[in-house]
Structure 1
Amino acid sequence: MDHYSFDQLPHAVSELHQKLDSIQDLLLESRQPVPQTIELMTISQAAEFLNLSVQTLYGKVCHREIPVSKKGKRLYFYKSELEEWIKSGKKKTMSELREQLPSLVVGRKGRRH
């Protein structure tokens, strides 16, 4: 730790202020959201990403089982939509089902058959 004389204090405070400004700038830069790039995929890229054959993927598109965009004769897939599609098929674990059970039981009590 440096010891400053009374005469050196204004210079030391100025240096300290500059360093704090630099730290603040770095913190503000790191807090800014990173712009998300929209990753568009061709059918071949989507098939590879999903680990499916192109033919299987065409079948899913034909049966409207998977999110797809069509421009002219070309098919395009958004990576984020494919990730959401995969997540939508997630099977719940036993603990998740147990947590959900009380709300299901309460919901059925009010119904009449």
Structure 2
Amino acid sequence: MENPFEIIKQRLDRIEKLLEANLGNLCNNKITHSIPTLMTIKDVANYLNLSIPTIYGYTAKKNMPHSKRGNKLYFDKNNINEWILEGRQKTIRDIERLADNYILKNSRHIRNI
């Protein structure tokens, strides 16, 4: 018959190794996600399938996130993706969910009127 404390120790050792491996992966992912992927104006134009003058127009009006060093414009790919998703149109289902949540949240106020 095996010692129950030995079984527990073996399982804890395995759990510890798994946690260390996952923690290492988590740290590596944070490092790679925190480094911005910089793009030039040509890269952004190709990525968005827009003309370079259009990109210049967006940046001149401060409508598109960008950085400027000297005469060069730089774009962070993550910021560009977020900027694109800001313009996402809600579906009818999204709007219905928002309306349902609003009604549920404010139902006390509506009953008192």
TM-score, structure 1 as length reference: 0.66
Q: For this pair of structures, how many residues does the alignment match?
A: 95
Where does the alignment leave 5 or more consecutive residues of structure 2 unmatched?
A: none
Aligned residue number for residue 24 of structure 1: 16
Question: RMSD of aligned C-alpha atoms?
Answer: 3.0
Among 60, 63, 67, the alignment partner of 1:62 is 60
Matched-pair identity in %: 33
Task: Give, in angstroms, the shift of residue 21 of structure 1.
Answer: 3.5
Of residues 37-46 and 95-104 in structure 1, the stretch that sits farther from structure 2 once superposed is: 95-104
- Measured against aligned partners, the alpha-carbon deviations of 1:24-75 in whole angstroms (never above 9, x if no partner) come to 3243222323121211111111112222121211111112211111111110
Amino acid paired to 2:39? M
Task: Give, in angstroms, the shift of residue 23 of structure 1.
Answer: 5.7
Q: Does 1:86 align with 2:78?
A: no
Distance in 2 separating the partners of 1:98 and 1:55: 39
Amino acid paired to 2:63? E
**SS in structure 2 of the partner of residue 80 of structure 1:** helix
Aligned residue number for residue 46 of structure 1: 44
**SS in structure 1 of the partner of residue 88 of structure 2:** coil
Larger radius of gyration: 1
4+ aligned runs moved over 6 Å, structure 1: none
Distance in 2 separating the partners of 1:49 and 1:28: 38
Amino acid paired to 1:24? E
